Amino acid sequence: MGWVSGLATYAIIWWLVIFMVLPWGNRALDEADVARGHAHGAPRKPRLGIKLAATTVIAGILWAIADVIVVQGWISLRN
pTM of the model: 0.79
Res 15: pLDDT: 97
Which position has the higher pLDDT, 39 or 9?
Answer: 9
Distance of CA 76 to the CA centre of its chain: 25
Res 46: pLDDT: 85
Which position has the higher pLDDT, 2 or 19?
Answer: 19
Q: List CB contacts of 12: < 8 A, sequence separation 6 or more.
A: none
| CA end-to-end span of the chain | 13
Taking Cα atoms as reference points, which of 54, 49, 65, 50 lies closest to residue 14?
Answer: 54
Mean pLDDT rounded to a whole number for the chain: 86
